[in-house]
Amino acid sequence: MSKFIAKPVRKLLCKLKIPGDKSISHRSIMLGSLANGITEIRGFLQGEDSLATLKAFQKMGVNIKQDSDKIIIQGVGLHGLKQPNSPLDLGNSGTSMRLMSGILAAQSFDSELIGDISLSKRPMSRVIDPLTDMGAVIESNDGKLPLKIKGSHPLKGINYNLPVASAQVKSCILLAGLYAQGETCVSQPKTTRDHTERMLKGLGYSVRVMNNKICLSGDGGLRAAKIQVPSDISSAAFFMVAACIAPQSDIILKDININPTRTGVIDILQLMGAKLTLINEREISGELLADIRVQSSQLRGIHIPVELVPLAIDEFPAIFIAASCAQGETILTGAKELRVKESDRIQVMADGLDILGIENEVSEDGIKIQGGIFQKPSNIIESHHDHRISMSFAVASLRCEYTIEINGVDNVKTSFPNFVELANFAGMNIVEV
């Protein structure tokens, strides 16, 4: 088990190129494999999660060649996948698991999906139930992994109301809908990231979006295309917060994805008083990009607007660090989804903040954080092998007066394989041992 040893520094001055967006990298492999023709992907995230998706489709007979962050896929069409000769191991990737369940539920062959210890604890009933309504036959371990998906069961379109806003569940149902007879519609209680809808449209598939209802019919095909993956805003969030809380900072983050369903972290930090501006806004491959400049900021506590919660769901561990350095109280509600991520991110972050002497109060669906000064009752943080917890507390070192240790950082490479390298280039002092 590896750990970070993070020492305090005061200054961050740099321009950074963050690795490719993980959500878009996953979807580019999946939809490129199901398209007709050759799809070329540039900027692909070479993290373990997205590589798990790539390897899974290779095992199903798709010719995928990789040269660094450039990927060439010879698509097999919607019905060209072949039965893998062993279970598909998706490691730590919940996105791979949930989205691929929708695709595999419609195939003519049986398949089995497995993952690591962390993924095996995460709830899969949220995709099993709607897929079963569509006609899929799926065996599970009481709603958890492994999933055994039976082939040759025709799917029918459904109208599904998401009980909880989830881009993964929405995308799973829409991907199954590509194969279903009739129309499939998903209604979501709040806006969630829309990368699946955007990429389907970019590959020539008809998708109808009416406010928070998304519909498609299972009678189309996907055309191969060139896809440019922008830099991941979820990974950039750690450096946004770092620049806000560092005593002396002025950084520029290049080519960041500013898809409006993902910019909750920007909105929240700006509400807190962050000196954060967007530069050079543009559109590439159907996604919005910008460079982001962030400077040292005097943050203030806020009551986070509930409508921003699903737009920043992956960034809250980093936002909790910003709240800890803000003046006054920050209150988060409506974020129960955080409890079923790679860890219970509300409780694990609260435990770490306790260790650093930050007053907080946990609720069922959120947390109340009183901004203060990082004390030293202890300096050892347990990340529970959650990559976003590990990186968030590494960022906290910028406001500590002492070295902190973060245990269980192995999974950082699932989403941000060069985090330590970039953090140290920016001016931080992190050693992985």
The residues that are catalytic are: 314
Distance CA 391, CA 201 (A): 34
Kindly state the tokens that stand for 6.
């993070």
Nearest to residue 303, comparing CAs of 368, 237, 372? 368
Give the type of residue at 422: L
Task: State the Cα–Cα distance between residues 57 and 297, nearest whole angstrom.
Answer: 45
| SS3 label, residue 292 | strand
Q: What are phi and psi of 125, to 5 degrees?
A: -60, -30
Report strand pairing: 226-228 vs 248-257. unpaired
Supply 427's token pair.
Answer: 């001016």
Secondary structure element (H or E) that encloses residue 59, with its range: helix 48-59
Distance CA 403, CA 114 (A): 38
Paired with 67 in beta bridges are 70
Q: How far apart are CA 432 and CA 228, in angstroms?
A: 31
Phi, psi of 112 (to 5 degrees): -135, 135
**Residue written as token pair 């509400």:** 271
DSSP symbol at 119: G
Describe the chain by its helix, strand, coil percentages, rounded to 5.
35, 30, 35
Residue 274, CB half-sphere, CA atoms under 13 Å: how many?
31
